[in-house]
Amino acid sequence: MSVSLRQLEYFITVVDEGSFTRAAEVLGMSQPGLSHQIQALERELGGPLLERLPRQVRLTPAGRTALPHARASLAHAQRASSAARRASGVETGELHVGTLYSISTGVLPGALRTWRREYPELQVHLVEFPHTNELIAAMEAGAADVAVGPTPPDWDGPCRTIGVEEFVIAAAPDALPYPDGAQVPMVDLAQQEWVHYTARSGLSDILNAACGQAGFTPKLSVRTEQSASALSLARAGIGLALLPGNIVPRHFDGALLRPDPPVLRPLSVYTRVRPDPITAAFVSAISVETLVTPTHITDRLGPPTR
């Protein structure tokens, strides 16, 4: 006998629901049948996974060790099933898209709206990360079918450029002695306070590099992990924020400035292997539909500088 995916699903459901009774209801099976399947799984794995208490279950040490592997095995099987359905031309299932937090906020919504109109039965699961290195590692490990993010160096698989993302400086109205939309030398901002990012965020590296190139270390006012939060904090006068222009909404009433030298981030969509038909259609759609710098930003700041 060997461990089956169905047994792993039963085990995970019991843990998530906290009892055999509720798990049996969710799974649509009898409680004795569920208990039998869990006991068979425990025999196969060599020991008890769950401690049966009067009103709940509790993971044993072996169960705590087995649980993340069970979840990973089930997720991998679901991705494999989705990939097989897409490869055969079936337009249902789930496409796992790896990306960064800032890109899922600024770049992906418009492209995904168009994509969903074309493939309404295909679900998209965003697998989001704070840093490019984590996104690349996740793609290499098979955590997503396709990635949208900064162009990875020396990527072995298919990779298609979708544009160059321009960063802007956001501030409260009248916080700086420059007209809205002005191009401002970064060196002139050395004495200003900045809304910085947490160390695990790739945006932290970008801000540090831009300030370092101008010869200074940014003065910290507050740290956040999300670019959208940085925009709100900057508008409130907490400090300046350097962030992708595409996350700034059309109605933003704070100041927007263009740093000099410009801060740019090339973006690509990439896969590990030659994409199946549905993934290839996603790659084509996002390449065509993505506005890396939206028109309301170029209208406000002028054409992007290079």
DSSP alpha helix (H) spans, the chain: 5-17, 20-27, 31-45, 61-87, 101-106, 108-118, 132-140, 202-213, 227-235, 277-289, 295-301
pLDDT at 99: 95
* Residue 64 or residue 213, greater confidence: 213
pLDDT bin (cut points 50, 70, 90) of residue 191 is: very high
Percent of the chain with pLDDT over 70: 92
Do residues 125 and 287 make contact, with C-beta atoms less than 8 angstroms apart? no
pLDDT at 215: 97
Residue type, 232: S
Residues 6+ apart with CB under 8 A from 31: 20, 21, 24
The pLDDT tens digits of the residues spanning 14-43 come to 999 888 988 888 887 788 888 888 988 888
Do residues 78 and 47 make contact, with C-beta atoms less than 8 angstroms apart? no
pLDDT at 88: 53
pTM above 0.75, yes or no: no
Angstrom CA distances, 17 to 3, 7, 60, 72, 77, stand at 21, 15, 16, 18, 22
* 119-145 b/e (C-beta count within 10 Å ≥ 16 → b): beebeeebbbbbbbebbbebbeeebbb
Q: How far apart are CA 9 and CA 29, in angstroms?
A: 13
Percent of the chain with pLDDT over 90: 44
pLDDT at 62: 84
Do residues 283 and 160 make contact, with C-beta atoms less than 8 angstroms apart? yes
Residue 85: pLDDT over 80: no
The pLDDT tens digits of the residues spanning 151-171 come to 999 898 899 998 899 999 999
| Assigned token pair, 187 | 């060196």
Q: How many CB atoms lie within 10 A of CB 99?
A: 22
Angle among Cα 217, 218, 221 to the nearest 5 degrees reads: 145
pLDDT bin (cut points 50, 70, 90) of residue 83 is: low
Lookup result for tokens 């006998």: 1
The pLDDT tens digits of the residues spanning 102-153 come to 999 988 887 788 777 777 777 888 999 999 999 999 888 888 889 999 999 9
Angstrom CA distances, 9 to 35, 86, 250, stand at 13, 23, 45
Q: How far apart are CA 32 and CA 20, in angstroms?
A: 9
Lookup result for tokens 């507050």: 222
* Residue 52 or residue 1, greater confidence: 52
pLDDT at 48: 87
pLDDT at 90: 47
Cis before 294? omega within 30: no
The pLDDT tens digits of the residues spanning 221-233 come to 999 999 999 999 9
